[in-house]
Structure 1
Amino acid sequence: MSAKNLIAFTLIAILSISAIFNPYTKQYLGQLKNGYVPASKGQDELYNQIIEAAQNYQADSQDAKIDRVWKAMPGYNGIRVDEKASYQKMKKNKVFDERKLVFIQVKPKVHLTDLSPAPIYRGHPDKPMVSFLINVAWGNEYIPSILETLKEHKTYATFFLEGRWVKENPELAKMIADSGHEIGNHSYSHPNMAHISATQMKQELSQTNEIIEATTKITPTWFGPPSGAYRDETVKIADAQGLKTIMWTVDTIDWRKPSPQVLVQRVMSNVHPGAMILMHPTDATAKSLDTLISEIHAQDLKIGTVTKLMDEERIIKLDKQDLKQEETQDQ
C-alpha cells in the first residue's frame, strides 16, 4: 500500500470511529432502531416532542400485597409511552397530538393470585374505579327497578346471591345474569360463617356454587360472607374452593330504610378510588341508584364489577377523557 493510500485509509478509519462514539450519532442510531426515520425538520421536532411528553406519563407498576389494615390488595400496572407507535400515528400530519400517544402497560411482578388467602376490602387506591356489591337473599320486588337503572347507565355490578334464594327464584337469578352482571357466592342459608364448623362452611360454599352454576351457567369466583362475618379458616376454605373473600369499603346501610338523600350522602362522603360499596335490593337503593351513579361519575370515577376493579389494568386519562390503550403489555 502506498503512503498516499495509507494516509487516506487512516483518515477514513479515524472519522468512522469518531462517528460511532459521537453521542449525536448514537442517538440517531437509537432512533433508527426504534423505527424513527427523520425526513424533515418538522418530523425531528415531532419526535422530540413525543420523547418529552413521554416523561410525563411514566409510572412504575405496583405489586399486589397484604396490607396491615386493608388485607389483600391487588397490584396496578405501570405505564410508559410507546414512542415508535406514537410517532407513526402523528407523522402524517407532522403535528404533536397528545390524544394520539400510544401507551404500553407494564405488569407488576406480584399478583393478587400470588398472595396467601386474605379478605379483600378494596381495590387499588390509585385506580379511579369503584364497585357496587349487591347482596341478594330477599328484596325481590326491587330487583327489576335496580336492573333497569343499571342498564340505563350501562353500569355493571357484582350480585352476591344466596344459594337458597337462587333455588327459590331461578328466573330472577337468570335475569340478573342475563343482564351482564357478575355473580358472586353469598353462602347457601345465610349463616354466621365465623361460628359454624369447617364442614358446614365447605357445604355452604359448594352447595351455593352448584345451584348458581346449574341456574345461570356462571361459576362464581368471589365470596361475600353474610353480614361480613368470617374467621381466618373461612377465608382459607373459600380460597380452596376457588373463591376469594370480598368485604366492603363503604356501607349504604340500606336495610335500615334511610331516605334516598341520606343514602347518597352516606356513600358520597366516603367514596374514593378503589372503594367497594355494599348494598341490597331495598326501596332506598332502588330510588337512590340513579343519582348515586351520576354523582360517582361526576367524581371522575368509573363503576365496574369486582373483577374489573381487581384487575391490574391502569386507567389512563388525558383531559378527563379515556385514552384507548394498546392491548400489548410487557411481561
Structure 2
Amino acid sequence: MRIIIFKRPSWRNIALWGILLFVLFAYRENVTSVFSGKLKPIYSASVNTQSIGLTFDISWGEKTAEPILDILKKEGIHATFFLSSPWADKHQSLVQRMVAEGHEIGSHGNRHIDLNTLGESEIEHEIITAQQVLERITGQNVRLIRAPNGAYNNRVIATANKLGYRVIQWSVDSLDWKRPGPSAVVNNVLNGIRSGGGAKAGDIILFHASDSAPDTVQALPTVIQHLKSKGHTLLPVGQLLSEANSTWPPESNLKEKPLTPPK
C-alpha cells in the first residue's frame, strides 16, 4: 500500500495564490475579455501630455447646445460633438456653426436605439445612414462613433471598425442627464463619482448638450477653468487619439487604426 503525503503549502505560496485570486476578482471584466476575445470601445488614452478629451452627446433638444457653444468659444475650447443624424438634419445651421468654430463631429447613430440589440446588417444601416447625413451637413469625414446609451457588444465594435470607425466611450461621466444640480455635475467631473476618479490626463469626459441636461450650461465654465488651472488642455477626441501611445482598455487597441471604409 502506497501512502501519499501532501506537503503543507508555504505561506509564500498561499500569499501568491491570494494575490492572484484578488486580481482575478477585482479585474474580472478585463481578465474575462482577454481570454474570451471580447472587443472593447475606447474609454481613455495613454498620453505624455496633459490632454483630456471633451465630448458632448446630442440626440434631442432646442435650448442647450447653443449656450454650450457660446461657453466653448469664450474659453477657446474645441470638443467632439456626437450627434444623432435626425437632430443634426433638423439643426443644420447649428451643426455648421460647430464645424466653423473648430469642433469635431462624431456619430451618435441614426435612431437612438441600443445597437447591441441589432444584427450586423441593421447596425451597418444605422451607422451608414447617420454618416451620410452628418457628412453632407458638415463636410467632415465622420469616423468616430458613440453608440446610443453606450450599448455595445463584439458585433457592434467589429461592424463599426469594418466601416472605418472607432467606437468611443468615456472614462469620466458627468451624469448631467440625471439633473443632479450644477455643483454635483462639477463634482462628478473634477472628483469623480467615486473618490479619486476625477478627470486626469488621457481621460474622455462625457457631457450632454441635449435639453435633458440643463445643469451642464452652469457647470461647464467651472469645470473648464479648474482643469485649465491644473495645466490640462481640453480637446476633441480625435486629437487626443493622435497624441496617444495606446488606448484603454487593451482590447480597444486590437487595431491601432480603423480599417479603410468600403467605397
Q: Which amino acid aligns with 1:167?
A: D
Other-structure match for 1:280: 208
Over residues 303-327 of structure 1, what are the superposed CA-to-partner deviations in whole Å (9 max), with x where a residue is unaligned?
Answer: 111011111379xxxxxxxxxxxxx
Tell me if structure 1 keeps the 8 A contact 2:145–2:168.
yes
C-alpha distance in structure 2 between counterparts of 1:164 and 1:230, whole Å = 21
**1:293 Cα offset (Å):** 0.2
C-alpha distance in structure 1 between counterparts of 2:104 and 2:141, whole Å = 10
Other-structure match for 1:221: 143
**1:126 Cα offset (Å):** 4.2
What are the ranges of 5 or more consecutive residues in structure 1 without an aligned counterpart?
Answer: 1-66, 72-115, 315-331
Matches within 5 A, 1:204-283: 204-269=126-191, 270-281=198-209, 282-283=213-214
Residues 118 and 127 of structure 1: CA distance in aligned 2, closer, same or farther (over 3 Å): farther
Tell me if structure 2 keeps the 8 A contact 1:117–1:239.
no
Identity %: 27
Q: Secondary structure of the equivalent of 1:189?
A: coil
Other-structure match for 1:176: 98
Q: Secondary structure of the equivalent of 2:117?
A: coil
Tell me if structure 1 keeps the 8 A contact 2:80–2:105.
yes
C-alpha distance in structure 1 between counterparts of 2:30 and 2:167, whole Å = 17
Over residues 110-142 of structure 1, what are the superposed CA-to-partner deviations in whole Å (9 max), with x where a residue is unaligned?
Answer: xxxxxx974100011543111111011113211
Tell me if structure 1 keeps the 8 A contact 2:52–2:200.
yes
Query: Normalization by structure 2: what TM-score?
Result: 0.73
Tell me if structure 2 keeps the 8 A contact 1:133–1:279.
yes
Tell me if structure 2 keeps the 8 A contact 1:192–1:227.
yes
C-alpha distance in structure 2 between counterparts of 1:275 and 1:295, whole Å = 15
Tell me if structure 1 keeps the 8 A contact 2:47–2:243.
no
Tell me if structure 2 keeps the 8 A contact 1:121–1:249.
yes
C-alpha distance in structure 2 between counterparts of 1:142 and 1:257, whole Å = 13
C-alpha distance in structure 2 between counterparts of 1:68 and 1:307, whole Å = 25
Match of 2:46 among 117, 124, 133: 124
Q: Secondary structure of the equivalent of 2:221?
A: helix
Taking only aligned residues, the RMSD between alpha carbons, in angstroms, comes to 2.0
C-alpha distance in structure 2 between counterparts of 1:165 and 1:180, whole Å = 20
Structure 1 moving runs of 4+ over 6 Å: none
Q: Which amino acid aligns with 1:229?
A: A
Tell whether 2:118 aligns with 1:196: yes
Match of 1:306 among 207, 226, 237: 237
**Number of residue equivalences:** 203
C-alpha distance in structure 2 between counterparts of 1:301 and 1:154, whole Å = 13
C-alpha distance in structure 2 between counterparts of 1:301 and 1:243, whole Å = 27
Q: Secondary structure of the equivalent of 2:45?
A: coil
What are the ranges of 5 or more consecutive residues in structure 2 without an aligned counterpart?
Answer: 1-28, 192-197, 246-263
Residues 232 and 179 of structure 1: CA distance in aligned 2, closer, same or farther (over 3 Å): same
Q: Which moved more, 1:116-125 or 1:233-242?
A: 116-125
Q: Secondary structure of the equivalent of 2:157?
A: helix
Q: Which amino acid aligns with 1:279?
A: F
Over residues 41-82 of structure 1, what are the superposed CA-to-partner deviations in whole Å (9 max), with x where a residue is unaligned?
Answer: xxxxxxxxxxxxxxxxxxxxxxxxxx948x9xxxxxxxxxxx
Over residues 4-40 of structure 1, what are the superposed CA-to-partner deviations in whole Å (9 max), with x where a residue is unaligned?
Answer: xxxxxxxxxxxxxxxxxxxxxxxxxxxxxxxxxxxxx
Other-structure match for 1:290: 221
Tell me if structure 2 keeps the 8 A contact 1:117–1:244.
no
Tell me if structure 1 keeps the 8 A contact 2:45–2:244.
no
Other-structure match for 1:187: 109
C-alpha distance in structure 1 between counterparts of 2:69 and 2:202, whole Å = 23
Other-structure match for 2:3: none
Higher relative contact order (CA closer than 8 Å, sequence separation 6+) = 2
Match of 1:152 among 53, 74, 85: 74
Matches within 5 A, 1:18-57: none
Q: Which has the larger radius of gyration?
A: 1
C-alpha distance in structure 1 between counterparts of 2:207 and 2:188, whole Å = 12
Query: Normalization by structure 1: what TM-score?
Result: 0.58
